Structure 1
C-alpha cells in the first residue's frame, strides 16, 4: 500500500485555516543516532521554532499548545521513534493532525501559513513506476507488485506447483548449479557437475519453470509492467527459455536469499528499476529545452502559477530547498513576489504552483540548481499547450 496517496495530498491541501503548521525533519531507521534520540531533538527544535512563529502571529499560549500538543505527544512516544524511515512530515491545524513516516530525506523546516506546505512530498510521486518482482528461491517462489516505496505480494499458490519437489529435486540448485573457481578453456565458468545445465536435470527444472510461467500467464495476460526476476543466473537462464511474458527484464537480480529478506530484495530491485522509470524526467527536460521560445515553456512564477491553477502545466521543475514567497489574487491572476515568508498574507508561491500542478495531473520535479532545465530561474514549467 502506498505510504501516502494523491487523495491524502488533496485532503491536506483542502485544509484551509489561519494557522496550518507543517514540520519536516530527517530521521534514521536504526542505530546509534536513534538511541541517542537525535531525531527527537530535531523535532523538539522545529516545534520550538514553530511555536515562536505562531507567537509572532499573535496566538496566545493556549492556542499554541492546542496546535502543538499532538506533536509533543510524538516526541514523548519512545516506540514511535524506533519505527522511522528517512524523513518525518507533520501537519497540524485546529482539529486536524497527520504525520507521515517516509523514505525521503527532508531538510529540517517548519512552516506556518493558511495551508499546509506540501512541496517536499512531491518526490514520492515522481521517478516512480510499477513493476513485478518474481523471486525464484529454492525454498519458495513468490510474486510481488512493486513501486518505489512499497510492495504487495500477489497470491499465486493456486497457479503454480505446490513445491519445487513436485517437478524437480531442487537440492540440485545447490549441488549442481554452483560456480566453481576457475573456467574452461573458452573462458566460461565451470560448475560442480558437468551435467549442471544439461540433460535430464535441466529438463526437470525447465518443466517446473514452464509450469510457473503458465500459471503466471493468467495474471500477466493484460499487463505491460516490467517483470524483474530475482534468481541465481543459471536458474534465470533456464527460466528465460520458457518465459512467454514480453516485458521480462533482460538481466536478473542476483540475490543471496539466505541473508536477504523481502525488504532488502525490494530495495535492490528498485535500484535496478529506477533508471527505467527516471526516463520520464529526462524526457520532460529534453522537451522543455527543445520547446523553449515556442510559447510552451516559462521560467517566471508570475506566469507559471496561474497556468498551474488552470491545469496547463505538464511538468514543473522547482529548485530543491528553495522557495518564492508573495501573494496571489485569484480574481485577476495577479502574482506579487516579496522577500521572505514572515510578512502578513505571504504564501509560498512555489508550493501553490507545485500542488496545483500535481493535483491537476502534472509532474513536479525537485531538482538541484545545476539540474534545472533553465538554472537562471528557481522555477521552470513545461506547458501542455
Structure 2
C-alpha cells in the first residue's frame, strides 16, 4: 500500500523535465493486456509533450528509455488496478496503486500527483488480525487495501509462542521435521486433549497481549480472521475497544490478500461510515457557529500550511471548483482552485491531519471542501 510520505515527497520535487504517467492495469481476464498497450500510447504522448515544451531529443530519449527499461518483460502480469510512473533525471519511481486511473500523461517542472490523492482520503483505519497455528499477521486496512504491520512483538506462529512446540490437529503432540520441541503427554496426569487446549489457550492469550501492545493508542476497529475455535479464544482474550464481534470465519490460508480485505472491509464499513458522519455533524456545527472551521479554500490552505487542520472533508471529485468558497469575482481560474485544494490535502496529511471523503448523499448540504481546525 502506498504511504502518504511517498506522495508528499513526489509533490515537493521540482525541476524540468518531470514526466508523470497514469494507466489502468486490470489484474484479471483478457483486459490485462490493455495495460501495456495503453502505456505505450502514453509514452508516445509524453515524447510529444517533451518536444513541445523544449526538451532536446537526447534528454527525451534518455528519460523515456529509463521508463521502458523498468516496464518490460513480465512486469505487467503482477500489477494492481492502476500504475503511476514518475520519471526525471534523478530516476524512475513506479507506484502500483489500488485505483483504476484514467490514462494520462503529464510533463512539466513538477510531478502531477492529483490522481493519487484519493489514497490519502481515509475514512478511518481498521485492523485485521490473522491467527492460525502456523502463521500470525496483523494488518492496517483502509478502503483501498491492507498493509502488514511488521513488528517483532507479533508472534509469527504458535510454535514461536510456545517455545518451538507444534500444536497438532491430531490428538497429542509430535515433533516436526524441523526439529521443533516435542511435547509428550504421559498416561498419568493431564490428557493429551487437555494439554493441547491449554497450549492453544496460551497461544491466544500471548497473541492477544502482543496485538494490544502494538495497537496501543491506535484508533480503529479490529477484525479477527481465524477458524471457529481460535476465533472464540481470541475474542475472549482481547480486551481492546472496537473489537468486531463478527469475525472472518475462514481459515486464513484459504484467502488471498484481496479476499481478506474484501471480507474485513465489509465488516467495518458501516462502523467507519458512522464515525465519518459523527465528524461531519461536528463540522457542520462549527461552520454554523462560525468558529473552529471553514469552507473557504484560501483559509483552509493557509491553516493546512500552518499545521492547524485537524480534519479535512472533501468531495472525492470536487467537480465545479466554484464550490470551493471563493466570492464571485474574486476566484482564481478553476485549475488554480483545484491546485489549491490539492495543496491543502497534501499539507494536511504532512502535518498529521486526516482526510475524509464527503458522503455521496451529502453533496447538496456540504461544501466540496471544509475543515475542522485544531486551534
Shorter-chain TM range is: 0.7 to 0.9
1:210 partner SS? helix
Shift of 1:313: 2.1
Deviations 1:322-342 (A, max 9, x none): 5789xxxxxxxxx9622558x
In structure 2, the CA distance between the partners of 1:253 and 1:202, relative to structure 1 (3 Å rule), is farther
Give the conservation status (yes or no) of the 8 Å contact 2:123–2:355: no
Shift of 1:215: 2.6
2:93 partner SS? strand
In structure 2, the CA distance between the partners of 1:311 and 1:261, relative to structure 1 (3 Å rule), is closer
Q: Structure 1 stretches of 5 or more lacking a match?
A: 171-199, 326-334
Give the corresponding residue for 1:85: 80
The within-5 A match list for 1:61-100 is 61-75=57-71, 77-100=72-95
User: 1:312 aligned to 273, 297, 308, which one?
Assistant: 308
In structure 2, the CA distance between the partners of 1:231 and 1:304, relative to structure 1 (3 Å rule), is closer
Deviations 1:352-385 (A, max 9, x none): 222122212222345576545855x543333223
Give the corresponding residue for 1:46: 42
In structure 2, the CA distance between the partners of 1:274 and 1:203, relative to structure 1 (3 Å rule), is farther
Give the corresponding residue for 2:136: 143
Give the corresponding residue for 1:160: 162
Shift of 1:314: 2.1
Give the conservation status (yes or no) of the 8 Å contact 1:130–1:145: no
2:332 partner SS? strand
Give the corresponding residue for 2:187: none
Give the corresponding residue for 1:111: 106
Give the corresponding residue for 1:15: 13
Give the conservation status (yes or no) of the 8 Å contact 1:90–1:100: yes
In structure 2, the CA distance between the partners of 1:269 and 1:160, relative to structure 1 (3 Å rule), is farther
Give the corresponding residue for 1:184: none
Give the conservation status (yes or no) of the 8 Å contact 1:21–1:113: yes
Shift of 1:320: 3.0
Between Structure 1 and Structure 2, how many residues are aligned? 334
Give the conservation status (yes or no) of the 8 Å contact 2:201–2:233: no
Give the corresponding residue for 1:196: none
Deviations 1:213-246 (A, max 9, x none): 33325524634465533234465345545x2544
1:317 partner SS? strand
Give the corresponding residue for 2:55: 59
Give the conservation status (yes or no) of the 8 Å contact 2:129–2:136: yes
Deviations 1:141-186 (A, max 9, x none): 432110123225742433237233399569xxxxxxxxxxxxxxxx
Normalized per residue, which structure has more helix?
2
Give the conservation status (yes or no) of the 8 Å contact 1:307–1:313: yes
In 2, the alpha carbon distance for the partners of 1:221 and 1:320 equals 33
Give the conservation status (yes or no) of the 8 Å contact 2:128–2:264: no
2:73 partner SS? coil
Shift of 1:38: 0.3
**Is 1:383 the equivalent of 2:373?**
yes
TM-score, normalised to structure 2, is: 0.73
Q: Which piece of structure 1 moves more, 39-48 or 228-237?
A: 228-237
In 2, the alpha carbon distance for the partners of 1:67 and 1:382 equals 42
User: 2:350 aligned to 334, 344, 359, which one?
Assistant: 359
The within-5 A match list for 1:326-365 is 337-340=332-335, 348-365=339-356
Q: Structure 2 stretches of 5 or more lacking a match?
A: 174-190, 322-329
TM-score, normalised to structure 1, is: 0.71
**Is 1:250 the equivalent of 2:245?**
yes
Normalized per residue, which structure has more strand?
1
Give the conservation status (yes or no) of the 8 Å contact 2:225–2:251: no
Give the corresponding residue for 1:192: none
In 2, the alpha carbon distance for the partners of 1:246 and 1:164 equals 26
In structure 2, the CA distance between the partners of 1:87 and 1:308, relative to structure 1 (3 Å rule), is same
In 2, the alpha carbon distance for the partners of 1:42 and 1:240 equals 48
